[in-house]
């Protein structure tokens, strides 16, 4: 028997009687689903007897080529049969997919190799977490969900009708979808399927590279988009609170003290100038007027009336910027 141990590539083996026991031991240590197998079996060997203690998984591609007995060398025929077991304890399933004859050549059947629709009522263990509206539990029988409904359950019912199997639902002890730890062990629902305690994980899983190496995924049923919504800033109406909160309280104290000092210095210098007759009293800088000028200075806008619109647009008022 010659084996080519290249994953996902055809593996050919030529069977001789002494190697029957060896192949049975090989199937226990190597998953037959990891390759494509073509076995050449002698006509005197019974396929059912040979595979009685060998588990060929349901998702494997295992073909047996066997010649027909009682034919002459001029009319030589070889049958090509796919074999698999739905479960290890169930009988072997056989499907004749092709025949080769030295007279008529190769003829294929119309049955697709991958169309294995009858699961013969096998019980599928289905693990899930309640996730309305996809998975909803109406009542429990102890810890076992007894009334399950939702979109995902409707999908399972359609598959049950077409593939002929039954479902046993249960909720895992560890409530999580499944992550991989440092030791390579999986938790949650992915761990249940990975450790073969469950056959199906029914929730809506996110397909990641790590999960794809641990378990298999159905083709996408529907596509969804994930969006992140960030709340925008609240609209703040202009008001005294909007103006005051631009500065810290300590900065506002410094501004008020500075304005007071400027107001006092401006009024004091004006009074001294009037007293010494250094200038005429054209503009009043009394305290009742000086505080208006000081506020105008701090707002970066002078008290002089602007003569044109262009001059007004060139001025940047501090308070206008705040509002």
Q: What is the pLDDT along the chain (323 residues), one digit of tens a residue?
A: 444 444 555 555 555 555 566 677 767 767 777 778 888 888 878 888 888 888 888 888 888 888 876 656 667 788 888 888 888 888 888 888 888 887 788 888 776 655 667 788 889 999 999 998 889 998 888 888 988 999 899 989 998 988 889 999 999 988 899 888 888 889 999 999 999 899 999 988 888 888 988 898 888 777 777 788 888 777 666 667 777 777 788 888 888 898 888 888 888 888 887 777 665 556 777 777 787 888 877 776 444 454 444 444 433 333 333 33
The pLDDT tens digits for 187-198 are: 999 999 999 899
pLDDT at 93: 87
* Rg, the chain, Cα only: 43
CATH fold of 122-214: D-Maltodextrin-Binding Protein; domain 2 (3.40.190)
pLDDT for res 130: 92
CA angle 299, 303, 309 (to 5 degrees): 90
CA 22 to chain centre: 43
List pLDDT tens digits, range 66-83.
Answer: 887 665 666 778 888 888
CA distance 21 to 166: 35
Nearest one of 122, 121, 120, 134 to 202, comparing CA atoms: 134
Nearest C-alpha neighbor of 54 from the set 18, 80, 29, 81: 29
pLDDT of residue 51: 85
Integer angstrom CA distances of residue 147 from 204, 206, 295: 20, 26, 75
Residue ranges covered by each domain of the chain: 10-108, 122-214, 240-322
Cα 121 to chain centroid distance, Å, stands at 32
Sign of CA dihedral 27, 33, 37, 43: positive
Contacts of 302 (CB under 8 A, 6+ apart): 296
**Distance between CA atoms of 208 and 180, rounded to whole angstroms?**
12
What's the chain's average pLDDT? 77
């Amino acid at each position: 028997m010659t084996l080519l141990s290249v994953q996902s590539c055809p593996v050919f083996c030529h069977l001789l009687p002494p190697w029957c026991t060896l192949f049975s031991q090989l199937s226990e240590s190597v998953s037959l689903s990891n390759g494509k197998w073509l076995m050449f079996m002698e006509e005197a060997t019974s396929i059912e007897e040979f595979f009685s203690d060998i588990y060929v998984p349901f998702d494997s591609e295992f073909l047996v080529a066997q010649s027909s007995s009682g034919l002459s060398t001029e009319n030589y025929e070889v049958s090509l049969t796919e074999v698999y077991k739905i479960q290890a304890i169930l009988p072997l399933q056989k499907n004749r997919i092709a025949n080769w004859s030295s007279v008529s050549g190769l003829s294929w059947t119309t049955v697709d190799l991958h169309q294995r629709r009858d699961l013969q009522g096998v019980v599928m263990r289905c693990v899930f977490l309640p996730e309305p509206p996809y998975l909803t539990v109406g009542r429990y029988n102890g810890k076992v969900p007894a009334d399950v409904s939702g979109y995902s359950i409707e999908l399972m019912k359609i598959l049950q009708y077409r593939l002929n199997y039954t479902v046993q639902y249960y909720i895992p002890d560890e409530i999580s979808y499944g992550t991989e730890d440092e030791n390579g062990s999986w938790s949650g629902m992915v761990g249940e399927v990975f450790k073969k305690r469950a056959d199906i994980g029914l929730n809506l899983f996110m397909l990641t590279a790590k999960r794809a190496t641990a378990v298999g995924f159905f083709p996408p049923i529907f596509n969804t988009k994930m969006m992140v919504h960030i709340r925008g800033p609240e609209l703040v109406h202009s008001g005294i609170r909007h103006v005051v909160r631009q500065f810290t309280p300590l900065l506002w104290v410094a501004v008020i003290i500075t304005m007071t000092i400027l107001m006092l210095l401006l009024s004091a210098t004006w009074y001294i100038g009037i007293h010494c007759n250094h200038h005429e009293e054209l503009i009043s800088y009394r305290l009742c007027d000086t505080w208006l000028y000081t506020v105008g200075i701090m707002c970066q806008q002078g008290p002089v009336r602007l003569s044109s619109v262009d001059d007004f647009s060139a001025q940047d008022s501090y308070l206008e910027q705040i509002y």
